[in-house]
Amino acid sequence: MIEIMENSETDAPPKGAERIQAYLKTLPDGPGVYRMLDAKGDVLYVGKAKSLKKRVTAYASGRPHSERLTRMINDTAEMIFVTTKSEIEALLLESNLIKQLKPRYNVSYRDDKSFPNILLREDHAFPQLLKHRGAHSTKGTYFGPFASAKAVANTLNTLQRAFLLRSCSDSTFETRTRPCLLFQIKRCSAPCVGRIDETGYRELVREAELFLTGKSRMVQDMLVAEMNKAAEVTRYEEAAKLRDRLKAMSHVQLNQGVNPSTFSDADVFALHTEGGETCIQVFFFRAGQNWGNKPYFPRVGADQASGEVLEQFIGQFYDERPAPPLILLSEAITEAELVAEALTLRAERKVEISVPQRGEKREIVEMALTNAREQLGRRMAENSAQRELLSGVQDVFGMEAPPTRIEVYDNSHIQGTNALGGMIVAGPDGFEKGEYRKFNIKSTELTPGDDYAMMREVLTRRFSRLIREGDDPKTKWPDLALIDGGPGQLAVACQVFADLGVEDVQLVGISKGPDRDAGREHFYLPGREPFRLDPKSPVLYYLQRLRDEAHRFAIGSHRKKRSKAIGASPLDEIAGIGAARKRALLQHFGSARAVAAAGISDIEAVEGVSGNMAKKIYDFFHPGG
Q: List, for residues 420-458, the tens digit of each pLDDT value.
A: 888 999 988 888 888 999 888 777 666 666 788 888 999
Residue 518: the pLDDT is 58
561 contacts: CB under 8 Å, gap ≥ 6: 418, 420, 440
3-state class (DSSP) for residue 169? coil
Cα 406 to the center of its chain, rounded Å: 22
Which of 309, 314, 307, 299 lies closest to 104 in space, CA to CA? 299
10-residue mean pLDDT series, the chain (625 residues): 45 69 84 88 88 88 78 87 85 81 76 73 84 80 74 76 84 85 86 90 85 70 79 78 71 54 87 86 83 82 80 84 90 89 88 92 90 85 84 93 93 67 89 88 70 89 87 79 91 93 91 65 91 88 90 80 61 76 81 83 86 86 68
Residue 616: the pLDDT is 86
Give me the DSSP letters along 550-592. HHHHHHHHHHHHHHHHHT--GGGGSTT--HHHHHHHHHHHSSH
Quick check: 145 and 116 in contact, CB under 8 A? yes
CA pair distance 435, 449, nearest whole angstrom: 27
Quick check: 322 and 248 in contact, CB under 8 A? no
Give me the DSSP letters along 214-262. T-HHHHHHHHHHHHHHHHHTT-HHHHHHHHHHHHHHHHHHHHT----SS
3-state class (DSSP) for residue 207? helix
**CA dihedral over 345, 349, 350, 356, signed as positive or negative:** negative
Instruction: Provide the H-helix boundaries in 102-213.
Output: 149-163, 170-175, 181-184, 198-212
Domains of the chain, each with CATH number or no CATH? 3-101 (3.40.1440.10), 117-255 (no CATH), 266-282+293-377 (3.30.420), 406-555 (3.30.420.340), 570-621 (1.10.150.20)
CB atoms under 10 Å from CB of 256, counted, come to 15
366 contacts: CB under 8 Å, gap ≥ 6: none
The residue type found at 510 is I
DSSP 8-state assignment for residue 29: S
